[in-house]
Amino acid sequence: MASSVSRERSPGHRGRGAAATGIAPEPVFTVDEMVGRFQRILQSHERSPCTVKQYGHIARTFLGYVHKPLDEVTKRDLEAFREYLVLQRHYSKNSVYTTVRGLTCLFRTFGLAAAEGLEAPRRPERLPHYLSEEETHRLFTAVADSPRDSAMVHVLAFCGLRVSELCNLSLEDVEFQRNLLHVRSGKGDKDREVVMEDKTRTAIDRYLTERALAGEGSTRLFPVGPVTVERIVRRAARDAAITQRVTPHMLRHTLATALLSRGCDIRYIQKLLGHASVATTQIYTHVDTQALRDAYTRAKPQY
């Protein structure tokens, strides 16, 4: 029998005596129903597909562990679950951090306060992985025969879009007159404009010409999902003989690192990437060791 995880109380709820007074019993939700309901609410709030999937998995794991209605969960239950993840499932700090975020969202979504004050561990600051300019050029060569794949890789590498932002681009978001891409409802539900430089413009023109000849009628610029984009980038990296694991997000890191190394003001990089705070962008100052060497050479004391 599926375990119940939540109850919805009617205004006339009378507890265990409800049946005797003629009031209908409370509806009981199974784990599957509760997770589905949670994910639908996240989708209605326009959370990214990745977040919907990830938070749904967190909710399912927790509800399968706790075996009680959501409105009966205590802070002690949540602390015990976190201990279980660390001591028995051997979760990393990053995984525990994401789980705490997901649980906080779950309880807030249903108006419950049990997860308030649940502390997330401090995430370790890891330097982002990125490609060299020579490796990025090889990646372009690997997708040159496919107008669609070439256009996508150019947008990722030259415009710094997140994969969800790439998949959400519509044809109307391409402003050819000013060579701009309009990113709608990016992370934090913010809009921004990014520059579409010449190589990217050429790749998009070639792709749209092929689409027109094929009679493609989608209003989306790239009518594919994030998994397809991941697969395309991974295959291109393999064909380009790049040994490290390459993801679409790595191309975003690659752009930021390349711009910084060529002297671009970090505030412009922040705006291009859509970071809410320049503190997020500053991690790239630790990546660009050549810029660090140059700055040190100019400023070192003459003992």
Instruction: Write out pLDDT tens, residues 200-233.
Output: 999 999 999 999 998 888 899 999 988 899 999 9
Q: Where in the sequence of the chain do the CATH 1.10.150.130 domains occur?
A: 23-109
For the cut 60, the answer to whether the pLDDT of residue 139 exceeds it is yes
pLDDT of 1 reads: 42
What is the percent of the chain where pLDDT is above 90? 53
Q: How far apart are CA 208 and CA 219, in angstroms?
A: 12
Cut 0.75: pTM above it: no
Identify the bridge partners of residue 7 per DSSP, sorted by sequence position: 28
For the cut 80, the answer to whether the pLDDT of residue 252 exceeds it is yes
What b-and-e string marks burial along 225-257, b requiring 16 or more CB atoms within 10 Å of the CB? ebeebeebbeebbeebebeeebbbbbbbbbbbb
pLDDT of 262 reads: 83
Q: How many CA atoms lie within 13 A of 116 on its CB side?
A: 7
Please state which architecture CATH assigns to domain 23-109: Orthogonal Bundle (1.10)
pLDDT of 18 reads: 40
Residues designated as active site:
162, 187, 249, 252, 275, 284
- Residue 152, both tokens: 């996508």
Amino acid at 161: L
- Residue 249, both tokens: 């997000």
Q: Where in the sequence of the chain do the CATH 1.10.443.10 domains occur?
A: 133-296
Contact criterion met (CB below 8 Å) for 9 and 27: no
Domain at 133-296, CATH homologous superfamily = Intergrase catalytic core (1.10.443.10)
pLDDT tens sequence across 158-196: 999 999 899 999 999 999 999 999 998 656 567 899 999
